[in-house]
Amino acid sequence: MDKPVPKYWKEEYNPYNIESYKDVPGWINDTEFVYPEMVKQAQDGDHFVEIGTLLGQSTTHMAQLIKDSGKDIKFDAIDLFWPIEHVVRNWKNSGHPKEFYKYLSILLTEFDLRAPDIVKHPLSVLRVQDLVNLITCDEKYAHRIYDDNTLKFVWIDGDHGADVVYNDLVNFWPKIKVGGTIGGDDIHYEEVLNDVKKFSTEYKVDVKYDYNSFKIRKIC
């Protein structure tokens, strides 16, 4: 499925001119208002996890929010990172717009960067790199990094294939502490929406759906 070009996309993305997360191409979707909500609710010592970074748009957004809040929030961003260069080699068949490809190509050629340094670039420019812990890991194993009942917020935006989001929800649910939230993006993908519904039915939890996302709060 080709990724639709969002209305808010710029005509050009220039890695030489980054002033905010909006200068990084990506499909931030509902994280633009979910992330501020989560940071506002957070307390010092809370632990956030983002699964799926792509070029780092939402990752940069969260890091900026944490910095502006002044709160002591630990933030991990998890990805395999290899799809970045795969997109460049196969961009015409990847479903990504040419603006995405041009931005990425400059980082690969003129900056001579490779993953995950491509994600680090906007973080470094905006001086928020120390607020993010980039972890190279397959999302199906990522839950093993964490103890149960330790995470305040987990955002799932990695692989959208069948059963992937369901497995992420099952694996990370024990890691969420009471009062914490797990959610994700891209429910316009049938596989993602089906996975969320399957999980909510089996675990008997309420799901809040927004424009293109879902959130589940752990109440007990």
* pLDDT tens, position by position, 64-118: 999 999 999 999 999 988 656 666 665 555 566 778 788 888 988 899 888 789 9
Q: How much is the average pLDDT of 133-161? A: 96
- Is 2 a member of any domain? no
Ranges of beta strands (E only) in 13-58 are 47-51
- Is 69 a member of any domain? yes
At 138, the amino acid letter reads: D
Work out how many domains the chain is built from and give that number: 1
- Confidence band for 3, pLDDT divided at 50, 70 and 90: low
Query: Which domain range does residue 212 map to?
Result: 21-217
Q: Provide the H-helix boundaries in the chain.
A: 31-41, 57-69, 83-89, 91-94, 98-109, 117-125, 139-142, 164-172, 190-203
Q: Does position 119 have pLDDT exceeding 70, yes or no?
A: yes
CB distance 9 to 97 below 8 Å: yes
How many other C-beta atoms can be found within 10 angstroms of the C-beta atom of residue 14?
11
Q: How much is the average pLDDT of 29-49? A: 93
CATH number (domain holding residue 189) = 3.40.50.150
Q: How much is the average pLDDT of 133-162? A: 96
CB distance 57 to 77 below 8 Å: no
- Is 156 a member of any domain? yes
- Is 33 a member of any domain? yes
- Is 9 a member of any domain? no
- Is 4 a member of any domain? no
Residue of 168, 171, 183, 167 whose CA lies nearest to 218: 183
- Is 129 a member of any domain? yes
- Is 10 a member of any domain? no
pLDDT of residue 4: 57
What is the pTM assigned to this prediction?
Answer: 0.91
**For residues 138 and 87, what is the distance between their CA atoms, to the nearest angstrom?**
18
